[in-house]
Every structure is written in structure tokens, then in C-alpha cells.
Amino acid sequence: MKRFLERNAWTAGLAGFLLLLLLATKLIQPDFGASGLDSLARSALPFALVTVGMAIVVIAGGIDLSVAAMMAVASVTAAVLMDGATDAQSAFAILAVLVLGLAMGALNGALIVVTRVPDIVVTLAMLFVWQGVALLILNAPGGGAAPWLRALVVGGVTLPGLPPAVTDWLPRGFLFLAIVVAVIWLPVRRSKLGLMLYAVGSDPQAAFRSGVPVGPVRIAAYALCGLFAALGGLTVTMATGIGEPIPGPYLLASVAAVVLGGVVLGGGRGTILGPILAVIVLRTVRLDLTLMSVDPNVAAIVEGMIMVAVVMFGAVLATRGRKT
Amino acid sequence: MTMTTTDAPLARLGRLMVDQPLIPLTLILLALIAALAILNPAILSLFWVSNTLKIAIPLAMLAACQTLTMLTGGIDLSVGTAATIAAYVTATATPLIGAPSAIGIAMGCALLIGVVNGIGVAFARVHPLIMTLGTGLIATGCLLVYQRSVISTGTIYPEILVWLGTGRTAGLPNGLFLFIPFAALILWAQRRTGFGRLLYAIGSNEAAARLSGVRVWQIHLALYSLSGGIAGLSGLLYLGMVKTASLSLALPLDLPSVAAAVIGGTSIFGGRGGYGGTILGALILTVLATMLTLLQMPEGGRRILYGAIILLVTALYIRITDRS
């Protein structure tokens, strides 16, 4: 009960901090409004999706270093398949990319379970493999995306019965994120698989002795991670209209957001909501730096330092936790 | 249990590979050269040998960073960035302040990256992979900021570096004048000094090393600083070799440097391996790269191959050590 309260306190604290940050943004830039919120949602969307994937794997007691490379593979595959395709064909392309994401993640997990090589080494090797695959599919940024996909994540929500002035304040990017997480993660969390993910993460041996199929559960965790990474890569293509074969700094950002979101590296504890809030916090910090007209390269340095500091802090906490 | 009789020769071969990696590695190298000779008989000459050595030297030096950090169970993914920064700073600062001070500043920057890595690994106990990835990201941001401030100064490549990088003495590259003492020093340090033995001790069992009175944090701090320094040195040599100051100069060497150490028989989990194997690993990779160029394999294919090699060798290693 106490742990439950503590966990929620952390998430609530993050939400409060986010509100403060948004207020600060409003002070820095008095014009900040619906359009600012929309661009924040658009920039946060790929980060948030990949962080959800990473959080699932970390909860199950692993780590996946290949998330950014899998995003790149999904992004270029989507862009190549959708280049010049009709709307119906694009829908199939998206389905194909999502299946590809599941397959990539499942392959990562299967290699970890079968070869018994530690996850960090396997996913490091797979990071290179997926990078290579992305480059083979598309050597330079290119391809295309169906226009109706862009409409899914850009702009405000239109709801019948509410004036646009109200609905503009809810960016479609956030709605997309909420729907995706609700459709994929919530059923898993409520099912037996969700419980088993947490069980394997907190103590694989105890889980094994209570009859949890540890290997398949870990493969499922990595497959879910691959699915969310593919969704993240897909949103990159959706928002920009092109496929990007060189992955951005998504790996470090997702690890930092997972730690900041209160998921313990080592597994078994944490929620999905915390990391999502943490992503939005990190993106808002970046937005504020941009609004204060800080040189984008300096902003990148500051952002990197914040992420490293968060990860260091998380590691210190994890070490303390192990000792006591 | 019937496995033991049928597998005895294989297990013995495996033990041989683990205990004496130099013998099978030399055989692999010779086999690759033979395959190359079959593919293109005209290629083999003293000039080709000298050229291969020249290309292999910076790779072997960067792989020294990976070998030393891997002996403790770590890894250093910031070496490519550190080498690039050292090279870029040297080339752009030489017109302003002269070669000796430029080289001094450049080495200082590379060392600083190493020290920050060391602090993160030694005190905050962040996983080296995440820590070095983060410092690499921050350092790249700093390099971009620096680049804007020196955009007009032009570049000069110090004479001594060009001589080391491109010159030849008696048909062999001058880089050997730097590399042979360097390799001798590393080989001597890993075998005969307390520091070298402590690396193995921490890698085999960190808790045991700690309990026998080793101050693990000192070793980590010194190790990652040394790694940064070596990376800076190889960046300088690489600058003399390619004579272009680009922002992504040594970054393509990151992945092969890990692969070279893994191929050379250094265990990514620590405690086993050594620099002798790594040198052969670097040579094998260089010959392999020539072969891939002859076969016109694209960049993506190479990355896949390198990733697959790392995964395969590590999985084999686990199988072999499990059985013996």
C-alpha cells in the first residue's frame, strides 16, 4: 500500500512539475497557446511512443538498446511502401510496418532467450544490424507518406458539439498517443501477460517457480517494445512526410525518460504513465530553451546533460536500493 | 551426457580458442588473405600490405580502448567522438595557436571526455554503455558549437601528424613508429603491471576485487580517462592519415573497434582476453573490409555483418565457456 502511494506520488509530482514548466513557458513566450501545444505534442510523440516500448522492456527486467535503430527501420519501410501509394495501400503499409516492428522486437527477444547472451550485448549487436537494414532500405532521407496520416497527428482535435476554440487546446498528437497506449498497453496490463511481465522483472527465478514461462514472456516484452518503436518510427514519417534512415537521439532520451518516470532499472516496478509524463517534461524543457532563443546546438548540449544527470541519479538510486 | 564423448574434440578446440586465441585468429587472417588472393590475384603486393597496416593502425588503437574497458566488463562508445574532436580541434586550432598547443588542447578535450565517463561509471555506477553514449552525445553538441566559432579560420594539418599518417619508411607506414611502442606498452601494462591485473580482477569478479581491498572507483576513473586519451591519440593519427577535418571523421570506426576487440577474443563480460588478439582482430576486419569493397557490399550490409559477428562470437564464447 505504501509503495503504491509512493509510486503515485512520484507520478503526481511529475505532473505538477509539468504544469509549472508549461506556466514558465507561458511566461517566457506570452503568445504560447494552442499552436505551441500542438508543436510540443508533435515533437514529443515519437519520443513518447519509443519510451513506452522501453518502459515495458525495463519493467520486464531487460533493456533494449536497439529501439532507435528499429524506429529508423520502421520509418524508412513506411516511407518506401507509401511513396506514391493510394490511401488503401497506405493502410496496408502501416499494418505491414506494425507487424515488422513486432517481428523485429520478437527477434531481439528470441536471440536473448536462445543464445543466453545478456540483453545489453544482444541489443547492442542488433542496434548495428537494424541500422544496417535501415540503410539498405533507404540510403538517404526520402520516400513519402499519405497526407491523411499527417492529418492524424497534426493540428487540434475536432469534436462534434464543442467549439474549435476549446478543442484546439487538445492536440491530435496527444490524442493519438492516448489512443495507441489505451488500445495496446491497457489490455496487456490487465491480462495475465501484464502480471507476468512484472513478475519476471522483479524476480525471474521466483516467477519461473510459480509457473511463469519466463522465456516467452521476455520475448513478448521485446516484441511489444518493437511494436512501440515501430509506431514511433511511423510517427516520424507521418509528421515529416519522409523516411529517416539515421536514427535520432531516441535511445538515450528513452532511457532517461524511463528513469525520470519512476521505472526502476532492473525491473519489476513502475508504470507507463510516469515515463510518458517524463518525456513531455523533457520535450518542454527543450521547447523552453528554443523559445529563449538559445542556439539549438547549445540546447542539445543542455538536453544531453540533463539526460545524463537523470540517468546518473537513477543509477545511484538503484545502487542504494540494492544495498538496503 | 552422451554429448561429452562426441563433443570432446569440439570442446577441446573451443578451449584452445579461449586460451590461445592468437592461433585460430592468425589462421582466420591467413584464410581471408587467401580468399582475397583468389578474388583478385593482382591485389597482393608489398604496397597492399603496407596500406592495410596503415589503415588498421587507427582502428587497432581505438580497439585498445574497447579491449581495456571490456576487461572490466565495460565498453566505451564515446571513442569515435573523442577521436573526432581531437582531430577537428587540432586541425582548426593550429592556424591560430600553432601545432604544439593545438595538439595539447585537443588531447585535453579527449581526456576530459574520458574523465567524465570515469566519474559517471566510478561514482554514479551508471552502466558504461549508457554513460559513454551520453557523453558522446554531449561532446558532439559541443563540437557543433565549437565548429561555428572557428568556421572561418581554415585548417592546417601539423607536419608531424601527416608524416606519421601518410609517410613510409622502407615500404612500411610511419604510423608503426607510434603504434609499435604503443602496443608494447599496452601489452606490458596488461600483463605485468598492477593496473593491468586489477582490470582482469574487476572484470572476473568485482565484488571479490572490492573485498580484497581494490578501490574499484580509482581503477574505473583511471581506465576511462586512459581510454579517452588513447582515443584522442588515434584521432590525431587518423587526421594525419586522411587529411580532412570533418565533423564525423572517426565516427565510422566506433562499431569496428568494438567488433575488433570481440573478434580478438576479449570477453565483453570482462576478465578474459587481451590486446594481442585485438590487434589481429583489427587486421582481420581491415582485410574483410577490403574484401567487402571488392564485392561492392553497401554500407548497410557491412553494419549488419559487424553486428552479426559481435553477436555470433559472443554467443559462441558463452557456449564454450559453459561447457568447459
Residues of chain A found within 8 Å of residue B131, distances taken between Cβ atoms = 308, 311-312
Candidates B197, B227, B255; CA nearest to B67 is B227
How much is the ipTM here?
Answer: 0.80
The verdict on B120 touching A (C-beta cutoff 8 Å) is yes
Please answer whether residues A56 and A189 qualify as being in contact, where contact means their C-beta atoms are separated by less than 8 angstroms. Answer: no
Rounded average pLDDT over A294-302: 83
Residue A162 above 70 pLDDT? no
Lowest mean pLDDT of A225-239, B8-22, B29-43, name the range: B8-22
B 271-300 → A contacts, CB under 8 A: 298-300
Beta carbons within 10 angstroms of residue A105's beta carbon = 30
For cell 478543442, name the residue. A167
CA distance between the termini of chain A: 20
Buried b (16+ CB within 10 A) or exposed e, A236-273: bbbbbbbbbbebebbbbbbbbbbbbbbbbbebbbbbbb
User: Given this model, what pLDDT does residue A322 score?
Assistant: 58
Nearest 10 degrees: Cα torsion B287, B290, B291, B293:
160
Amino acid found at A179: I
The verdict on A104 touching B (C-beta cutoff 8 Å) is no
Of A122, A129, A315, the CB nearest to B304: A129
B268–A251: do the CB atoms touch at under 8 Å? no
Residue B276 above 80 pLDDT? yes
Residue A166 above 50 pLDDT? yes
Candidates A93, A98, A102; CA nearest to A145 is A93
Rounded average pLDDT over A196-213: 88
A133–B311: do the CB atoms touch at under 8 Å? no
The verdict on A249 touching B (C-beta cutoff 8 Å) is yes
A126–B148: do the CB atoms touch at under 8 Å? no
Buried b (16+ CB within 10 A) or exposed e, A191-224: eebbebbbbbbbebeebeeeebebbbbbbbbbbb
Residues 6+ apart with CB under 8 A from A226: A53, A70, A101, A102, A103, A104, A105, A106, A108
The verdict on A28 touching B (C-beta cutoff 8 Å) is no
Question: Rounded distance, CA B291 to CA B59, Å?
Answer: 17
Of A126, A129, A297, the CB nearest to B145: A297
Residues 6+ apart with CB under 8 A from B86: B106, B107, B109, B110, B231, B232, B233, B235, B236, B239
Question: Rounded distance, CA B54 to CA B164, Å?
Answer: 10
The verdict on B141 touching A (C-beta cutoff 8 Å) is yes
The verdict on A317 touching B (C-beta cutoff 8 Å) is no
Rounded average pLDDT over A170-181: 84
DSSP 3-state assignment of A65?
Answer: coil
Q: What is the pLDDT of residues A246-288, one digit of tens each?
A: 877 888 888 888 888 878 777 777 788 888 988 988 888 888 8
> How high does pLDDT run on average in chain B?
85
A128–B307: do the CB atoms touch at under 8 Å? yes
Q: What is the pLDDT of residues A6-43, one digit of tens each?
A: 557 777 778 888 888 888 888 887 777 777 788 888 88
Q: Which of A115-119, A151-155, B115-119, B156-160 has the highest mean pLDDT?
A: B115-119
The verdict on A205 touching B (C-beta cutoff 8 Å) is no
The verdict on A294 touching B (C-beta cutoff 8 Å) is no
B 37-76 → A contacts, CB under 8 A: 75
Question: Rounded distance, CA A48 to CA A69, Å?
Answer: 16
Residues 6+ apart with CB under 8 A from B297: B305
The verdict on B305 touching A (C-beta cutoff 8 Å) is yes
Lowest mean pLDDT of A39-53, B147-161, B237-251, name the range: B147-161
Strands (E), A173-295: none
Amino acid found at A213: P
Please answer whether residues B35 and B291 qualify as being in contact, where contact means their C-beta atoms are separated by less than 8 angstroms. Answer: yes
A139–B300: do the CB atoms touch at under 8 Å? yes
Lowest mean pLDDT of A162-171, A312-321, B165-174, name the range: A162-171
| DSSP string computed for B27-45 | HHHHHHHHHHHHH-GGG-S
Q: How far is B92 from chain A (nearest CA, A)?
A: 19
